[in-house]
Chains A and B, each alone.
Chain A
Amino acid sequence: MLPYIGRRLLATIPVMAVVAVFVFLLLRLTAGDPAAIIAGDNATARDVAQIREKLGLDQPIVQQFIIWIGKTLRGDLGESFFFKKTVTELILGRVEPTLALATCTLLLAVTMAVPLGVTAAYKRGSWIDRFVMGLSVLGFSVPVFVIGYALMYLFAIHFAWLPVQGYQRIGDGFGGFIQRLVLPSFTLAIIYVALIARITRASVLEVLGADHVRTARAKGLADLPVLLRHVLRNAAVPIVTVIGLGVALLIGGVVVTESVFAIPGLGRLTVDAVLARDYPTVQAVVLLFSGVYVLINLLVDLTYTFLDPRIRY
């Protein structure tokens, strides 16, 4: 168990190293001279040279990378070109909305998708099965902002049940917080539901045909205990895997959904930073999101050992 966790942890190091090199090179080699950007249009050549020296940009690229990675590991992500704050401060100020949106979406998606997928497999060919399959095709084809505007039009403008846009911090009242989070979470959850429900259906279908399920039925166990105790438990590994992999979709969706619903989170920050050509912020956000994605999939891999004791690496 412990050696496995250790080995799995070690395996993430090369992946994150590639991500770090890529993110570093991406912006350092192609974005032009950061010193000139910081100095502004009216700067003299001497100003630019001074800034370059201060930032260590006059050193060889390998050294620059080592300095950058060292700072990043210590939590120093540099200074934003545009917002006149350190990037770390900037990110900390934007974490709450994104975390709230992602958590809410995840909970919503899993509680909808798993029962849907199990029912679809159990009642194969029924209307609910066709609904799940239809939803999965639709969920992958209708872009998240189209879903967002459709839901916004229907529930916030036509029926006026919910606020149209915006975000309220959880500290300023839970009611308003949830009210403003329902539509964006639902929007974002649809593609995720489609993904999870489809895998759940396929995975449950496979287990339903297994011998131990027939035995459980033969000994007279009712359908529900069979489904929960004998089927779902054995179908869990692919489901948990796809929940982890789907986080990539979730992160992409967060960026778009926050723009549609005017939520001041990390996604919105990314777009604003790109529009302002604020490279340190773009760099930090990409690195952060990738790190979260790798971390979540690491956790998913670790849960395998609990879900399926046969798995030993």
Chain B
Amino acid sequence: MSTVLTLPSPAVRREARAWRLPRNRSVWIGAAILAVVVAIAVLAPYLGTTSPSEIDPTARNRRPGAERVIRNDDGTKTTVTYRMGTDSLGRDIYSRVIYGSRVSLIVGVTVALISVAIGLVIGLVSGYIRWLDGIVMRVMDGLMSIPAILLAIALVSLSRGAGLRTVILAIVIPEIPRVVRLVRSVVLSVREEPYVEAARALGVPTPALLARHVLPSTVAPLVVQGTFICAAAIVVEAILSFLGIGIPPETPTWGNIMAEGRALFRIFPHNIFFPSIFLAATVLAVNMLGDGLRDMLDPRLRHRI
């Protein structure tokens, strides 16, 4: 009797590859757009910007592309171009949009890191220590029944004059239960694996067991979840600022620029248009990165996240 090993025909293999490539394309497109945004944020002072919070009463509500000639003391003339126009206080929208990328990225990354870190600890402990599990999960269920944006709004209202730190905290708290649930579900499935049982039988203490044998399984899903949290955090920060309850209005953030442009939207839509484009493109990039990472790291995650 002979066993015939059949390899997939070249056509089949090519098809498999064709199916895979576009999935990874999403990572590359997302990462590329994100790299541009990061570069913009880092290089903000060198991109032909002026001070983003400088008020100029003589140049209010200029349309995009408007030029202005300034006479210098020595008789020469300097031409200033408002690439994206100015707002109703005469601040340069282009500079504000460019500098605004900094706040969005800081908020996105910080919120993702903090909520993943806190959620990871709570999730590990709750998934492994059975008697704690019930209590922790009831609290998480309760937190999750308060719609995220509403909870963030309520939290922001607590401190007088919200700043960056308050906003970050207000976005972190609603995200924690989602991380806890994910980590806990991983822990619950891993804890019954033979290698974990073996380690337990050998007398490895619980903290070491969690760190050495359970923690590694949570890395891939957390990287993906962290990316999605980053995208969500950027949106929520923009929403809070847009509603006028986020970061103080003089700080250039995309939400603040839009909030400022609300009143005159009918006449000067550019105040809302330009930050919108940047905001949407950044969030899209982060989400694409997350989608792609999920499929790359572990296709089974599709059902979980």
Contact = CB atoms under 8 A, between A and B. Distances in A.
Interface of A: 14-19, 21-23, 26-27, 30-31, 137-138, 140-146, 149-150, 152-153, 157, 164, 247-249, 251-253, 255-256, 259, 270-271, 273-275, 277, 279, 282, 285-286, 289-290, 293-294
A131 to B, nearest CB: 16
Contacts, number: 134
B146 A274 contact: no
Given A150-B276, A271-B245, A293 B145 contact: yes
Nearest to B232: A140
B269 interface: yes
B202 to A, nearest CB: 38
Interface residues of B, number: 42
B139 interface: yes
A275 B243 CA distance: 9
A125 B235 CA distance: 31
| Most chain A beta-carbon neighbours within 10 Å: one of B155, B159, B243, B291 | B243
Given A286-B151, A289-B147, A143 B269 contact: no
A256 B241 CA distance: 11
Nearest to A158: B269
Main secondary structure of the interface of B (DSSP, over half): helix
Contacts of A21: 142
A251 B146 CA distance: 10
B157 A274 contact: yes
B158 A30 contact: yes
Given A141-B280, A143-B235, A255-B153, A22 B287 contact: no
B153 A271 contact: yes
A18 B153 CA distance: 19
B171 interface: no
A214 B159 CA distance: 60
Nearest to B284: A141
A251 B150 contact: yes
A311 B153 CA distance: 38
Contacts of B156: 274
Given A15-B138, A286-B146, A26 B239 contact: no
A143 B287 CA distance: 13
Given A145-B242, A275-B245, A255 B150 contact: yes
B167 interface: no
Nearest to A277: B157
A93 to B, nearest CB: 19
